[in-house]
Amino acid sequence: MASNFFNLYTHDFARVAVAAPVCRIADPAYNAEQTILLAEQAAAQGAALVAFPELGLSAYTCDDLFHQRALLDGVLDGLAAILDASTDWKMAVVVGAPLRVEHQLYNCAVVIANGQIQGVVPKSYLPNYGEFYDARQFSSGDYAVATEIDLLGERVQFGSGLLFEVADMPLFKFHVEICEDVWVPIPPSSFAALAGATVLVNLSASNALVGKAGYRNQLVSQQSARCIAAYLYTSAGGGESSTDLAWDGQGVICENGELLAEAKRFTDESNLTFADIDLERLSRERMRMNTFAQSVQRHAGEVGKFRTVFFPLEIGREQPMALKRCVERFPYVPADARRRDDRCNEVYNIQVQALAQRLTTSGLKKVVIGVSGGLDSTHALLVCARVMDKLKLPRTNILAYTMPGFATSERTLKQAHALMKLVGCSAQEIDIRPSCIQMLKDLNHPYAEGQAQYDITFENVQAGERTNHLFRLANHHGGLVIGTGDLSELALGWCTYGVGDHMSHYNVNASVPKTLISHLVRWVAESGVIGRNDAQVLLDILGTEISPELVPGTADGQPEQRTESTIGPYELQDFNLYYVLRFGFNPSKVAFLSHTAWKDREQGRWPDGDHVTRNQYDLAAIKKNLGIFLDRFFRTSQFKRSCVPNAPKVGSGGSLSPRGDWRAPSDAQSVVWLEELRSIPVQA
């Protein structure tokens, strides 16, 4: 089957839905009709799975009516109607029904696909407390003897230990449990996840109580996180009996602890809630966390009890199907203002705590830092200021040096001095040009003879002289050299080996990407955490074009070197870094996600607060810059990452320390990534 790059199923996503139909008590024909209507809508939207509430064909609040043959026969007729309608649906449907099996009545989930019943799962835990009387009508599926039953003329699999795997989507294996099953200390879905289920489904009929919806959200979220799975929860709503209870029709879809979608509660109409789940992400997280495999081994007895039912869905991948999922343009920076402020506060304090600990254990009370007037050194200096406050040391113990070279602009030099004044540190300017000239003379470099040759040697002499000064100043004053280079630069190898942004005694920025540093600087300016003096200099620094300033600029004062012209826009490269480093996705999937994030929506903030970026990147630009990233990351830059200074890890997006998240050979090639990159089209 040919795959379309623009189809979400091509990239191991799957569209799922939870349904909350309005029901009628003891009217299976009506309930089946509502089920079919919603299922057809879900199928039209390209869903692979749709789940309906517990006992949805009869209604949950039938009480002793469940023992009336007329009702149970009507449920079978309703089930037959759904079965007939499902022939043309390229998806699995899970409906709730009371079923008679070997003289006992079970509260069941019936899995239907391709016009056939694929299996029946009985409820394991039957609540008999408070307002619940399940054990009055039903038997527990855990004690059922039958493993197969006759249902509507078919011999079908039966039992609580069933898994359902879509043959043409091997990462899509799901398990069904019912209501109370997820409320117990060890839900059946926990063992199902260890047995390979990536999607967990819960058919529920949980009544509405004050505060209960929030608790259910937490329950579903935490179960999806513990199991590293997607969890679909759907609950009974309108039409259920109000004799003693009320019903809200809550529907929740979570993925590994993250809420993807939530249904509107207390509606008067039937409704569907969709989400696109990332099956590959779940698989890779389980593969990365080796303790998941250890849990499989520890519980091998329970895991071994599961049986898998295979069936195809033949979901079309030939036509485009856009991803209906929010993909943040800035994965390191939350788009929500409150979450963004919380993130900045936490990252800042992680950096502060780590540096304070290093100074305390080393016995040193001074730090030495080079201040360029650019973003990275600005944020590192702000961290140092807060550390001195925390340790109750004067900020004059920060020995800050701005060291203009051959290409330092008037703007950045002024910003460096203004920043040091704002912080209140010890500030000094050291002109490195005389020592650089001496080095260039020693090398017989043409620039020393007056020729305008601005090569790598010319650049690195300046970077080296700055670092040499900083380390010797630290020796002289008894201080610690603070590194300023960030995660983005380290990923792209945009640093000079052994000097410059590569080397220090301790680097507070090493696992903070450039896009996040921009927001950190703004957050510091707005929050006043280092003092509420005039912070305009911080805003000026945010508006300065990113440049190493190692090559003289143009006559009008513009920098000759524009970092992003060489290595690509940081907002794209940070996106690439996150999905390559954190999840190991193929280039085609990274490009698909990037295209989804950037194609037509203006989301995220970069770099100035409430201003929404106006940048739009088409697929050609995404592919080009991803190619730059892949080659630099895998082939040319690892040797620099193999010997980086100590630094705190600040987020799950990873660090590139060889002692932490990333161990890789310096001699690797980028061939396999670039080859896969070629499969990406250049236009939609």
Residues whose CB falls within 8 Å of the CB of residue 63, separated by 6 or more in sequence, listed in order: 133, 137
179 in active site: yes
pLDDT of residue 555: 58
Same domain, 390 and 290: no
CA distances from 428 to 142, 589, 600 (A): 76, 49, 48
**b/e string for 6-18 if b means 16 or more Cβ within 10 A?**
bbbbbbbbbbbbb
Q: Token digits for 670?
A: 């980028």
460 is in an annotated binding site: yes
For residues 652-661, average pLDDT = 86
- 321 lies in a domain? no
**β-strands 49-51, 92-101: how paired?**
parallel
Per-residue confidence band for 119, with pLDDT thresholds at 50, 70 and 90: very high
- What is 146-170 written as a DSSP string? -SEEEETTEEEEBSTTEEEEETT-T
Within this chain, do residues 282 and 398 fall inside the same structural domain, yes or no?
A: no
CATH code of the domain containing 470: 3.40.50.620
206 is in an annotated binding site: yes
Q: Are residues 341 and 297 in the same domain?
A: no
pLDDT at residue 684 is higher than 80: no
Q: Which of 475, 463, 487 is nearest to 399 (CA)?
A: 475
Q: Is residue 34 part of a domain?
A: yes
- 240 marked as binding residue: no
* Identity of residue 266: F
Percent of the chain with pLDDT over 70: 96
Bridge-based pairing of strands 506-507 and 230-235 is unpaired
Residue 659 has pLDDT above 70, yes or no: yes
Give me the catalytic one of 23, 62, 179, 384. Answer: 179
Confidence at 285, pLDDT banded by 50, 70, 90: very high
Amino acid (1-letter code) at residue 515: T
- Parent domain of 262: 12-311
Q: In what order do the strands lie in the sheet with 271-278?
A: 116-122, 104-113, 92-101, 49-51, 13-20, 271-278
> Do the domain assignments include residue 43?
yes
CA atoms within 13 A on the CB side of 365: 7
State how far the Cα of 424 lies from the Cα of 614, in Å rounded to an integer. Answer: 36
Least trusted range by pLDDT, from 202-211, 342-351, 475-484: 202-211
In a domain, 390, yes or no: yes
Q: Give the distance from CA 633 to its chain's centroid.
A: 21
**Is 496 labeled as ligand-binding?**
yes
pLDDT at 1: 44
Three-state secondary structure string covering 481-548: EEECCCHHHHHHCCCCCCCHHHCCCEECCCCCCHHHHHHHHHHHHHHCCCCCCCCHHHHHHHCCCCCC
Eight-class DSSP state of 657? -
Residues 6+ apart with CB under 8 A from 671: none
Alpha carbon distance 310, 326 (integer Å): 31
Joined together, the tokens standing for residue 644 give 């980086």
Tell me the CATH number at 131: 3.60.110.10
Same-domain check for residues 420 and 533: yes
Confirm whether residue 55 is marked as ligand binding.
no
The answer to whether 254 is a known ligand-binding residue is no
C-alpha–C-alpha distance, residues 502 and 486, integer Å? 9
Task: Determine if residue 377 is labeled as part of a ligand binding site.
Answer: yes
* Residue 654, pLDDT score: 75
Question: Could you give the percent of the chain with pLDDT greater than 90?
Answer: 84
- The neighbouring-strand residues paired with 15 are 276
From the candidates 23, 62, 108, 123, give the one annotated as an active-site residue: 123
Based on the residue annotation, tell me whether 344 is a catalytic residue of this protein.
Answer: no
Structure tokens, 642: 């193999």
148-157: long-range contacts (C-beta < 8 A, 24 or more apart)? 149/99, 149/101, 149/120, 151/79, 151/99, 151/110, 151/117, 151/120, 152/76, 152/79, 152/80, 152/83, 152/117, 154/116, 154/117, 156/117, 156/118, 156/119, 156/120, 157/118, 157/119, 157/120, 157/307, 157/309
10 Å Cβ neighbour count for 126? 23
Alpha carbons within 13 angstroms on the beta-carbon side of residue 611 total 10
Q: What is the mean pLDDT of the chain?
A: 93
Q: How many CB atoms lie within 10 A of CB 294?
A: 10
Same domain, 431 and 548: yes
pLDDT tens digits for range 307-342? 999 999 988 888 999 999 999 999 999 888 888 999
Sign of the CA dihedral with 237 first, then 190, 259, and 588 last: negative
Q: Give the distance between the most distant pair of CA atoms in the chain.
A: 103
Give the chain's domain count: 2
Do 360 and 303 belong together in one domain?
Answer: no
For 538-590, strand residue ranges (E) read: none
Look at residues 311, 326, 353 and tell me which one is the last residue of a structural domain: 311
> What is the rounded CA–CA span in Å between residue 511 and residue 524?
18
Any domain includes 232: yes
Residue 548 lies in a domain: yes
What is the tens place of the pLDDT at every residue in 507-533?
999 999 999 999 999 999 888 877 766
Please check the confidence at residue 642 and state whether its pLDDT lies above 60. Answer: yes
Helix 456-477 and helix 433-442, axial crossing angle in degrees, nearest 10: 120
640 appears as a binding residue in the annotation: yes
Q: How far apart are CA 107 and CA 178, in angstroms?
A: 8
Span 200-224, mean pLDDT? 92
Instruction: Enter the DSSP assignment of 623.
Output: H
Cα angle for residues 199, 203, 206 (degrees, 5° grid): 130
Task: Give the angle 101-104-105 at the CA atoms, nearest 5°.
Answer: 85
Say yes or no: 306 and 356 in one domain. Answer: no
Helix (H, G, I), strand (E, B) or coil at 321: strand
368 and 497 in a single domain? The answer is yes
Same domain, residue pair 469 and 356: yes
Residues 341 and 453 in one domain: yes
- The residue ranking higher by pLDDT, 578 or 237, is 578
pLDDT class for 613, splitting at 50, 70, 90?
low
In the chain, the amino acid numbered 259 is L
What is the spatial distance between Cα 366 and Cα 391, in angstroms, rounded to a whole number?
A: 11
Q: Are 80 and 152 within 8 A, CB to CB?
A: yes
**Residue 441 known to be catalytic:** no
Q: Residue 96: helix, strand or coil by DSSP?
A: strand
Q: How many CB atoms lie within 10 A of CB 88?
A: 9
CA atoms within 13 A on the CB side of 351: 27
- State whether 347 and 290 are in the same domain: no
Residue 239, number of CB atoms within 10 A of its CB: 23
Last residue of some domain: 253, 276, 311? 311
SS3 call for 13: strand
Choose, from 23, 54, 108, 589, the residue flagged as catalytic. 54
Residue 374 is assigned to a ligand binding site: yes
Domain annotation covers residue 517: yes
152 and 117 part of one domain: yes
C-alpha–C-alpha distance, residues 23 and 205, integer Å: 12
Q: Is residue 208 assigned to a domain?
A: yes
3 state SS of 373 = coil
